[in-house]
């Protein structure tokens, strides 16, 4: 049964996390035996914790597939490889599908169509990889308790729930009864890096819904670089744990600027930062003006093709958190 028992203790301490890990390791071993398990490893908190648990339980019987759709934040795919392949010695298949995704998304402007293409292609790439592998009996998923409460238990943004009929495996979902904060405590206890465990929410379609309109490689590069600068500066200012979600957006219109005495026609970058409890409503935090100016100066100096930086002052509602 997939319901959390009323008397289940909340995992709030390293000791409770260790108890959970020991129990799950035993349970996974008895469920899986000597068979192989497949996992789509996005690098998000939930799939990373599931990967680390499974590696502890069954080592190389776990096959992780990380699909880079070209819409990851700067350094994210690299971190997945470093942590799971290099440090934890996992069986990790890395697929750089950037060109595939960007070719399909070329000239596509409508946000929901972009989402559908990204989700659909993700399933396709994952399915193709899964078919190349032999002897897979189980599919691991980072389903957490709110996913079960809010939907039919299939984690929409992981997209693997949409695998074709003949690719259905028995599921391994070791964190299915945990809330997000508990998953983080378990991730910590498993030794995953703090910036992975405390990662802010990141939409499944990734930077694809922040590079507004039809995605182009130049604007996507500007988005990735500006986002990395924002993250670095907020981190240095100690804001990472105080602001719920923050990122940049690059719209699909240009404005006039001047650089080295010459007129330019370049992209703006919009900074978005919000605080919220449940993402249904959100407020805009007051960020030190000096810090905003420093971030703007860095983006303007370091990111090619950008001539303006703006700070979005709009709460949710009427605005949404993302721009698309």
Residue span binding ligand XMP (CB under 6 A) among the ranges 52-60, 61-69, 189-197, 203-211: 203-211
Q: What is the DSSP string of 25-76?
A: HHHHHHHHTT-EEEEE--SSHHHHHHHHHHHHHHGGGEEEEEEE-S-SPTTH
Q: Which of 55, 203, 222, 231 binds ligand XMP (CB under 6 A)?
A: 203
Q: Which of 115, 254, 298, 308 binds ligand XMP (CB under 6 A)?
A: 115
245 binds ligand XMP (CB under 6 A): yes
204 binds ligand XMP (CB under 6 A): yes
Tokens found for residue 71? 């819409």
Q: Compute the distance between CA of residue 141 and CA of residue 190 in angstroms, rounded to an integer.
A: 17
Q: What's the CA dihedral at 223, 225, 226, 232 to 10 degrees?
A: 140
231 binds ligand XMP (CB under 6 A): no
Residue span binding ligand XMP (CB under 6 A) among the ranges 20-28, 200-208, 220-228, 302-310: 200-208
Which residues in 142-161 contact ligand XMP (CB under 6 A)? 157
Closer residue to ligand XMP (CB): 151 or 320: 320
Closest listed residue to residue 197, CA positions, set 89, 50, 322: 50
Can you count the helices (H) and strands (E) in the chain? Answer: 10, 9
| DSSP secondary structure code for residue 237 in this structure | T
| DSSP secondary structure code for residue 86 in this structure | I
Q: Which of 142, 174, 187, 205 binds ligand XMP (CB under 6 A)?
A: 205
Q: Which of 201, 213, 251, 315 binds ligand XMP (CB under 6 A)?
A: 201
43 binds ligand XMP (CB under 6 A): no
Closer residue to ligand XMP (CB): 26 or 156: 156
Q: Which residues contact 184 (CB under 8 A, 6 or more apart)?
A: 45, 197, 198
127 binds ligand XMP (CB under 6 A): no
The number of residues that bind ligand XMP (CB under 6 A) is: 12
Closest listed residue to residue 97, CA positions, set 83, 80, 79, 118: 118
* Interacting residue ranges for ligand XMP, rule: CB under 6 A: 115, 157, 201, 203-205, 245, 279, 316, 320-322
């Amino acid at each position: 049964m997939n319901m959390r028992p009323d008397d289940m203790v909340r995992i709030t301490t390293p000791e409770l996390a260790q108890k959970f890990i020991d129990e799950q390791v035993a349970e996974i071993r008895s469920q899986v035996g000597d068979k192989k398990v497949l996992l789509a490893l996005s690098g998000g908190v939930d799939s990373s914790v599931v990967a680390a648990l499974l590696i502890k339980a069954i080592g190389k019987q776990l096959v992780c597939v990380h699909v880079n759709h070209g819409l990851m934040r700067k350094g994210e795919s690299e971190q997945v490889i470093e942590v799971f392949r290099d440090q934890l010695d996992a069986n990790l298949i890395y697929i750089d599908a950037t060109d595939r995704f960007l070719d399909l998304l070329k000239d596509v402007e409508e946000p929901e169509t972009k989402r559908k293409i990204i989700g659909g292609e993700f399933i396709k790439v994952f399915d193709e990889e899964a078919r190349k592998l032999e002897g897979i009996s189980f599919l691991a998923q980072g389903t957490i308790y709110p996913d079960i409460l809010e939907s039919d238990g299939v984690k929409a943004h992981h997209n693997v729930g949409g695998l074709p009929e003949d690719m259905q495996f028995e599921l391994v979902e070791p964190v299915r009864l945990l809330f997000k904060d508990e998953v983080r405590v378990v991730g910590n206890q498993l030794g995953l890096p703090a910036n992975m465990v405390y990662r802010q929410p990141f939409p499944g379609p990734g930077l694809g819904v922040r590079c507004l309109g039809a995605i182009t490689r130049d604007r996507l590069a500007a988005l990735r670089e500006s986002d990395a600068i924002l993250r670095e500066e907020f981190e240095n200012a100690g804001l990472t744990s105080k602001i719920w979600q923050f990122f940049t957006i690059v719209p699909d219109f240009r404005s006039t600027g001047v650089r080295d005495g010459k007129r330019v026609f370049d992209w703006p970058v919009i900074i978005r930062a919000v605080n919220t409890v449940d993402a249904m409503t959100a407020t805009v935090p007051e960020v030190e003006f000096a810090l905003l100016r420093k971030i703007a100066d860095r983006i303007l100096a370091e990111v090619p093709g950008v001539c303006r930086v703006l700070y979005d002052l709009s709460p949710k509602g009427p605005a949404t958190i993302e721009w698309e």
